[in-house]
Amino acid sequence: MDELGGKTTLAHAKTPNMDYMARTGKLGLAKTVPEGMPPGSDVANLSVLGYDPAKYYTGRAPLEAASIGVELGPEDVAYRCNLVTLGLIKGRSGEDYRNDYIMEDFSAGHITTDEAAELIDEIDASFGCGNVNFYPGVSYRHLMVWSKGRHDLKCTPPHDITGKPIAGHLPEGDGAGFITDLMEYSMGLLSGHAVNRERAAKGNCPANSIWLWGQGKRPSLPAFKELYGLKGAMISAVDLMKGIASILGFDVIDVPGVTGYIDTNYEGKADAALKALERADFVYVHVEAPDESGHGGRMDHKLKAIEDFDSKVVGRVLSAIKGRPGYRVLVMPDHPTPIAVKSHTSEPVPFILYDSGDELREDKAKAYDEEHAAKTGMFVKEGHKLMEQLLNRK
């Protein structure tokens, strides 16, 4: 970024704990998004967890369905249902849903879960029927299930088009008309809802439309214990990650105060992870705040999120395990979310492999960032194979 003297946010942020781990462990780059696949959190996190997305991925929404206990039948198609804020293009009347609006906020101002539940219940009461049903999730993230529905559509994630007209990004393919109609009808239902009137009175973004995307059918993933012989646990504020964890047979650990944004309970996640290691072999701690900040184009928030992650999660874990043999740690993003594009990209990401009891000499790298990771020459072309290195099996 020009504002940071040509550095990335990771390179500019103060990250003494990750820098230490990069110097004493192994630093490199890994490609978590296979060629030709979308750079979504679903694809990338499957890679980080040691599952080849090219083999196992069937869509994002089916993974999220598992997190809220929605059982998908073989003919069910799940769709991610965002509550979003659409804004009028200057000079337009608003009579033409397809051409008059821009994606103003993909999260409806990070609407609260309680507010969102009222709106999704209203949507389900109005549009739900024998073959279409809506289920509330967390904040702006919800679910629609279309029995015997279509899934071979091209649907755009709303966070990819922040500030852009929705025209040209509406669903395409078999069944697209039905999906677009649902989105359009929802605007008429939600715009005048009491929840949105109250949000507007407080100066908050109204959740004035749903946005459907991430569709897919039920996946078939082997349990983590079956694949790697280890008992796992997951700590995250995000339904997607909890859904993946449920399918993989992980314990899902709920931590009070986690939000998926910069106000999340970082220390609580770190403490819960350390405690979980008393009964689990492997703990996956997922932090969403840097990604959300990237989507929002907030450099200040992203720098804070990275620094808080380093001090309140990494530092807390490191101080507990440093010098105590038997702990191995992998630190990495699942994918980049550059502020310049406000969306996910598929470039390789920097990773650290750290062993608490077998530290290398401090001469391998000076810091944890993209540039130093590239200079090491260590590159994992198939990101899902990094799990074998973490488990010290390669």
Tens digit of pLDDT for each residue in 145-168? 999 999 889 999 999 999 999 999
Task: Calculate helix-pair angle for 176-190, 113-127, nearest 10 degrees.
Answer: 120
Q: Note whether residue 64 is domain-resident.
A: no
Q: Note whether residue 15 is domain-resident.
A: yes
| 168, 195, 216 - which closes a domain | 216
| Residue-wise pLDDT tens digits, 282-303 | 999 999 999 999 999 999 999 9
In three-state secondary structure terms, 227 is helix
Q: What angle do CA 35, 162, 140 make, to 5 degrees?
A: 95
Same domain, 231 and 354: yes
Same domain, 237 and 292: yes
Same domain, 9 and 95: no
Enter the pTM of the model.
Answer: 0.81
pLDDT at 338: 95
| Residue-wise pLDDT tens digits, 174-205 | 999 999 999 999 999 999 999 999 999 999 99
Maximum C-alpha span of the chain: 66
Instruction: Please give the backbone phi and psi of residue 353, each rounded to the nearest 5 degrees, phi first.
Output: -110, 120
Q: Note whether residue 199 is domain-resident.
A: yes
pLDDT at 239: 85
| 216, 235, 256 - which closes a domain | 216
Output the six-digit token pair for 206.
């109204």
Same domain, 291 and 367: yes
d(CA 314, CA 13): 14
Same domain, 124 and 164: yes
pLDDT at 220: 85
Output the six-digit token pair for 159.
């966070």
Q: Note whether residue 95 is domain-resident.
A: yes
pLDDT at 83: 98
Same domain, 97 and 131: yes
Mean pLDDT to the nearest integer, 39-49: 95
The residue assigned the tokens 């280890």 is 230
Same domain, 178 and 137: yes
393 pLDDT above the threshold of 70: no
Residues found in the chain: 394
In three-state secondary structure terms, 192 is coil
Report yes or no: 179 and 243 within 8 Å, Cβ to Cβ: no
Same domain, 322 and 238: yes
Q: Note whether residue 348 is domain-resident.
A: yes
Q: How many helices (H) and strands (E) does the chain have?
A: 16, 14
The b/e string for 204-216 (b: 16+ C-beta within 10 A; e otherwise) is bbbbbbbbbbbbb
Domain that holds residue 322: 2-57+222-390
Q: Note whether residue 67 is domain-resident.
A: no
What radius of gyration do the chain's Cα atoms show?
Answer: 21
Question: CATH no. for residue 265?
Answer: 3.40.720.10
Same domain, 324 and 341: yes
pLDDT at 250: 97
Same domain, 234 and 346: yes
Put the strands of the sheet holding 328-331 in their side by side order.
328-331, 349-355, 26-30, 379-380
High-pLDDT (> 70) share of the chain, %: 97
Of the candidate ranges 296-300, 347-351, 354-358, the one whose mean pLDDT is the lowest: 354-358
Mean pLDDT to the nearest integer, 294-321: 96
d(CA 142, CA 156): 16
Q: Note whether residue 106 is domain-resident.
A: yes
The b/e string for 339-360 (b: 16+ C-beta within 10 A; e otherwise) is beebbbebebbbbbbbbbeeee
| 150, 182, 216 - which closes a domain | 216
Same domain, 263 and 352: yes
pLDDT at 392: 83
Q: Note whether residue 70 is domain-resident.
A: no
Residues whose CB falls within 8 Å of the CB of residue 350, separated by 6 or more in sequence, listed in order: 10, 27, 28, 29, 332, 333, 368, 369, 370, 372, 373
Say how many domains are in the chain.
2
Same domain, 125 and 40: no
